[in-house]
Homo-oligomer: A and B are copies of this chain.
Amino acid sequence: MKAQVFVKFKNGVLDPQGQTILGAVNRMGHDFVKDVKVGKFFEIEIEKCENVEEKLKEIANKVLANPIIEEFRIEIDGDN
C-alpha cells in the first residue's frame, strides 16, 4: 500500500528558494511564470493496518512537517 504526504510552507512564510527559482526562470525568458513555491513530498510504502490515516497524520504532524511554518496533505492510494 502506498501513501504520499505533501508538505509546503504556510502562507506568509518566506520561501527564498521559490523566489530564486522564479528569478532564474524569468531570466531564461519565461515570463509566463508568475510565481513558484517549493514543497517536499514523501512517498511512503506502508503495510496495511488499522487507522492508517490517523497514524500518518501523527507522523506528518510530528516528523514530516513543522506546524509552525508548514502545512501538509495526505493521499492514500486506494489500491491493494
Contact = CB atoms under 8 A, between A and B. Distances in A.
Interface of A: 6, 8, 18, 21, 24-25, 28, 30-47, 49, 52, 55, 59, 62-64
A40 B38 contact: yes
Copies in the complex: 2
Contacts of A42: 18, 21, 36-39
A68 B21 CA distance: 19
Given A21-B63, A25-B63, A44 B35 contact: yes
Given A30-B55, A39-B42, 14 more contacts: A8-B43, A21-B63, A21-B64, A24-B63, A25-B59, A25-B63, A30-B59, A33-B45, A36-B42, A36-B43, A37-B44, A38-B40, A39-B41, A40-B40
A34 B45 contact: yes
